[in-house]
């Protein structure tokens, strides 16, 4: 029985079985370590074929009844060589380089041991003991370095994952930036279009404003012209009447001189009357000429140059022109004009034409307000417009007050805004309080304020520096 067992053991090299197991384990380790195709382009076939030499050797020794204790050593050295050949081309891959070091010590130990057994040499006693101890440490060395290789692989995998995540974030950031750039471009185009539209609207608004200003000036000029026509009619009537009377006196004087017995006393009386009439004709002619000069001065384009101006004379002139201008439109309208001009009022540096337009606008508004209240109140109401001037420190003040309809409190803070008017459509706006305010504040460095109570009164105050 024992002989049969010995024959069975000698029939096969059973030492190849542990070596084959080690080969398959090493192949599994390498496949796990080099799991990417770029690390194992052709080595997968080699690793899978490691069992071929062991199987062939196992079968051949069984058939030939050949027994060799060194066959497993040769096979293990062959397996280590194949593993090193697989790892060497990819040594730039750090886990593969570390794995080469894991194989180096066992391969060196197996080669040295196999050489000793083949050649029959042995180390001296102390070195032989150290060499045997090294053989026992091979497995620990291989395990530790293999673990280090897998740890390095794990670190590289984390780094790769981190790089891929960073790349993904970079692509996402690039995509977001591209989207933002598209949005910015679209918004810029929209803003550019809006800016162009606003610029066009602003240009159109300025053109409209200039047209309105021109219309307001023309309306103011129309009102002024009506007042001038009505005002100039009086001196012209006086001139015509005195001229007719003077012609009759001349005829009587000629008849008396042709009489055989002329009356010297009557001739002197006729000459005296004729001289008086000529004086009156000259006086009213000068009045008409003054009105014409004022009309021409108003119609001229303002130069914008200031000159010493008599505020009292300017206010009185434009008050009467505004009054007669309204009467030219409505013959039934009458109003009481109260003036209180301060004596010895200093001359004010002003542009007479511009200041006159402001006064004309205020007077026209005042007469318009009292006319509207008269139409609503009935016969008991007396329309009154008051103009007062005075000196207050370094300023001259002009007060224009009426007892008309007044201005509602809700709109008092709007009356100096551009294009704002309380008049119904079609009744004209004159110069406009906005332009009047600009002329006083910006053109003359003064102030224009208002105080009003609805249904009672309205009072505008102009303050102009005279130094």
The separation between the first and the last C-alpha atoms of the chain, rounded to the nearest angstrom, is: 147
Token code pair at residue 157: 């995998």
- Full-model pTM: 0.45
pLDDT given at position 29? 78
Whole-angstrom Cα distance, residue 355 to residue 447?
12
Whole-angstrom Cα distance, residue 156 to residue 151?
9
pLDDT given at position 9? 44
pLDDT given at position 66? 46
Whether residue 376 lies inside any domain: the answer is: yes
Residue 276 has, within 13 A of its CA and on its CB side, a CA count of 8
pLDDT given at position 219? 60
Neighbours of 29 (CB within 10 A): 18
Looking at 122, 149, 171, the residue that finishes a domain is 122
* Per-residue CA distances from 418 to 206, 355, 369 (Å): 12, 19, 20
User: CB-based burial of residue 424 (10 Å sphere; 0-12 exposed, 13-18 middle, 19+ buried)?
Assistant: exposed
Contact 98, 153 (CB under 8 A): no
Token code pair at residue 2: 């024992």
Contact 226, 328 (CB under 8 A): yes
Whole-angstrom Cα distance, residue 7 to residue 62?
11
Looking at 73, 100, 122, the residue that finishes a domain is 122
Whether residue 416 lies inside any domain: the answer is: yes
Whether residue 149 lies inside any domain: the answer is: no
**Domain CATH code at residue 363:** 3.30.565.10
Collapsing DSSP states into helix, strand and coil, what is residue 13? Answer: coil
Whether residue 309 lies inside any domain: the answer is: yes
Structural domain tally of the chain?
2
Contact 13, 76 (CB under 8 A): no
pLDDT of the chain, 467 residues: tens digit per residue: 443 333 444 444 445 566 666 777 777 777 777 765 555 555 555 565 565 565 555 555 544 444 455 566 777 777 777 777 777 877 888 888 888 888 887 777 777 776 666 666 665 456 555 556 666 677 788 788 888 888 888 888 888 889 989 999 999 999 999 899 999 988 888 888 888 888 888 888 878 777 766 666 666 556 556 556 656 766 777 677 767 777 777 877 777 777 777 777 777 777 787 788 787 788 777 777 766 666 665 555 455 678 898 999 889 888 888 887 777 677 788 888 999 999 889 999 998 888 888 898 899 889 989 988 888 877 788 999 999 999 998 999 999 999 988 888 888 777 877 655 656 544 544 447 888 888 898 888 899 999 998 888 999 999 999 87
pLDDT given at position 4? 39
Neighbours of 460 (CB within 10 A): 24
pLDDT given at position 61? 53
Token code pair at residue 435: 């332009």
pLDDT given at position 238? 67
Whether residue 205 lies inside any domain: the answer is: no
pLDDT given at position 294? 61
Whether residue 410 lies inside any domain: the answer is: yes
Tell me the pairing of strands 457-465 and 395-402: antiparallel
Q: Which helix (H) or strand (E) holds 27?
A: helix 16-33
Task: Quote the radius of gyration of the chain (alpha carbons, Å).
Answer: 62
The residue range of the domain holding 370 is 304-467
Tell me the pairing of strands 348-350 and 307-309: antiparallel
pLDDT given at position 390? 94
Neighbours of 58 (CB within 10 A): 20
Looking at 122, 137, 167, the residue that finishes a domain is 122
Neighbours of 72 (CB within 10 A): 20
Whether residue 191 lies inside any domain: the answer is: no
Whether residue 193 lies inside any domain: the answer is: no
């Amino acid at each position: 029985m024992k002989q049969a067992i010995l024959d069975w053991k000698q029939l096969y090299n059973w030492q190849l079985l542990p070596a084959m197991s080690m080969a398959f384990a090493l192949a599994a380790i390498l496949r796990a370590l080099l799991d990417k195709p770029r690390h194992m382009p052709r080595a997968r076939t080699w690793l899978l074929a490691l069992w071929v030499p062991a199987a062939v050797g196992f079968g051949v020794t069984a058939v030939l009844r050949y027994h060799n204790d060194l066959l497993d050593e040769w096979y293990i050295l062959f397996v280590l060589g194949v593993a090193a050949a697989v790892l060497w081309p990819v040594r730039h891959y750090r886990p593969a380089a570390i794995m080469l070091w894991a194989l180096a010590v066992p391969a060196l130990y197996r080669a040295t041991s196999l050489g000793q057994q083949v050649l029959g040499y042995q180390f001296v006693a102390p070195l032989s003991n150290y060499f045997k101890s090294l053989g026992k440490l091979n497995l620990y060395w291989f395990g530790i370095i293999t673990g280090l290789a897998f740890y390095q692989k794990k670190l590289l995998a984390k780094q790769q994952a981190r790089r891929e995540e960073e790349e993904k974030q970079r692509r996402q950031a690039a995509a977001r930036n591209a989207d933002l750039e598209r949005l910015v471009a679209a918004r810029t185009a929209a803003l550019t279009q809006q800016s162009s539209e606003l610029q066009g609207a602003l240009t159109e608004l300025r053109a409209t404003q200039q047209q309105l200003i021109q219309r307001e000036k023309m309306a103011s000029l129309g009102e002024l012209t009506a007042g001038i026509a009505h005002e100039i009619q009086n001196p012209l009537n006086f001139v015509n009447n005195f001229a007719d009377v003077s012609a009759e006196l001349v005829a009587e004087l000629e008849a008396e001189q042709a009489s055989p017995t002329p009356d010297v006393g009557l001739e002197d009386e006729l000459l005296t009357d004729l001289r008086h009439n000529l004086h009156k004709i000259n006086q009213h002619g000068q009045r008409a000429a003054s009105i014409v000069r004022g009309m021409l001065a108003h119609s001229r384009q303002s130069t914008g140059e200031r000159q010493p101006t008599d505020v009292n004379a300017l206010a009185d002139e434009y008050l009467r022109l505004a009054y007669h201008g309204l009467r030219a439109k409505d013959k039934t309208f009458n109003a009481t004009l109260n003036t209180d001009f301060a004596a010895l009022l200093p001359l004010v540096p002003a542009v007479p034409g511009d200041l006159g337009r402001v006064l004309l606008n205020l007077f026209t508004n005042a007469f318009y307000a009292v006319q509207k209240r008269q139409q609503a109140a009935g016969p008991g109401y007396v329309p009154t417009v008051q103009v007062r001037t005075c000196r207050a420190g370094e300023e001259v003040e002009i007060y224009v007050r009426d007892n008309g309809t007044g201005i509602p409190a809700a709109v008092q803070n709007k009356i100096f805004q551009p294009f704002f008017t309380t008049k119904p459509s079609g009744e004209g706006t004159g110069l406009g309080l906005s332009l009047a305010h600009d002329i006083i504040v910006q053109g003359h460095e003064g102030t224009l304020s208002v105080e009003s109570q609805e249904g009672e009164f309205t009072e505008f105050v102009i303050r102009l520096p005279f130094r």
